[in-house]
């Protein structure tokens, strides 16, 4: 009797068996009580490039945060970094809906007395258009060591040129509602 028969005899009527192929093509037989955890060196990370031209900031940021965390993968595990790299180009052409361009306030503190500064989104777009996307995505990431590691895989550029051509980035058009 092979391994399958041994596992089949150990199962109760309420348990079922699934055959799962791991990332290195090993076949595992899992019962419903088993949990598949990917090893850190088995996780494949891809590079995606997103053109932010005429996309709504918040909707784009939620899709980017999900891709950075790896929540779109079937091997997602909350305590592991399963996400992919995301390169955002044309960040200066992202849209804000409603009156957010004049009413949304970004705060900054210089570190000195009376150093609290408040800027509207229009001023931030003029100074540093990548900050708007980075701040929106950072607000949707978990705070802590893992969140910082996942957030480090986000690359934002104001123009259409990015230095990550060697990584063979796939073009990704997020489905926005």
Q: Please state the domain extents for the chain.
A: 1-36, 39-171
Q: For the ranges 10-24, 93-107, 157-171, which has the lowest average pLDDT? A: 10-24
Helix then strand count (H, E) for the chain reads: 6, 8
Of the pLDDT bands very low, low, confident and very high (cuts 50, 70, 90), residue 136 is very high
User: How much is the pLDDT for 25?
Assistant: 60
pLDDT at 101 over 80: yes
Q: Region 126-153: what's the mean pLDDT?
A: 96
User: How much is the pLDDT for 38?
Assistant: 87
Of the pLDDT bands very low, low, confident and very high (cuts 50, 70, 90), residue 175 is confident
User: How much is the pLDDT for 15?
Assistant: 47
pTM, 2 dp? 0.79
The CATH code of domain 39-171 reads 3.90.1180.10
Is 168 within 8 Å of 96 (Cβ atoms)? no
Query: What single-letter DSSP state applies at residue 169?
Result: P
Q: What is the pLDDT of residues 29-80, one digit of tens each?
A: 555 667 778 888 989 999 999 999 999 999 999 999 999 999 999 889 999 9
N- to C-terminal Cα distance for the chain? Answer: 53
Query: What single-letter DSSP state applies at residue 142?
Result: P
Largest pairwise CA distance in the chain: 78
3-state secondary structure of 62: helix
User: How much is the pLDDT for 6?
Assistant: 46
pLDDT at 1 over 50: no
User: How much is the pLDDT for 13?
Assistant: 45
pLDDT at 14 over 50: no
User: How much is the pLDDT for 79?
Assistant: 93
Q: Region 79-100: what's the mean pLDDT?
A: 95
What kind and span of H or E run contains 123? Answer: helix 121-127
């Amino acid at each position: 009797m092979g391994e399958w028969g041994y596992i089949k005899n150990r199962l109760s009527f309420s348990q079922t068996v699934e055959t799962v192929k791991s990332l290195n093509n090993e076949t595992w037989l899992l019962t419903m009580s088993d949990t598949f955890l990917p090893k850190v060196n088995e996780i494949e990370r891809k590079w995606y490039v997103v053109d932010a031209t005429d996309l709504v900031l918040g909707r784009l940021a939620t899709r980017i945060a999900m891709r950075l965390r790896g929540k779109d993968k079937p091997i997602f595990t909350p305590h592991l970094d399963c996400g992919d790299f995301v390169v955002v180009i044309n960040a200066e052409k992202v849209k804000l809906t409603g009156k957010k361009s004049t009413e949304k306030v970004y705060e900054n503190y210089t570190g000195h007395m009376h150093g609290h500064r408040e800027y509207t989104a229009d001023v931030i777009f003029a100074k540093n258009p990548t900050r708007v996307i980075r701040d929106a995505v950072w607000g949707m990431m978990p705070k802590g060591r893992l969140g910082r590691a996942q957030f480090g895989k986000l690359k934002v550029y104001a123009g259409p040129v990015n230095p990550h051509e060697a990584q063979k980035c796939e073009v990704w058009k997020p489905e926005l509602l």
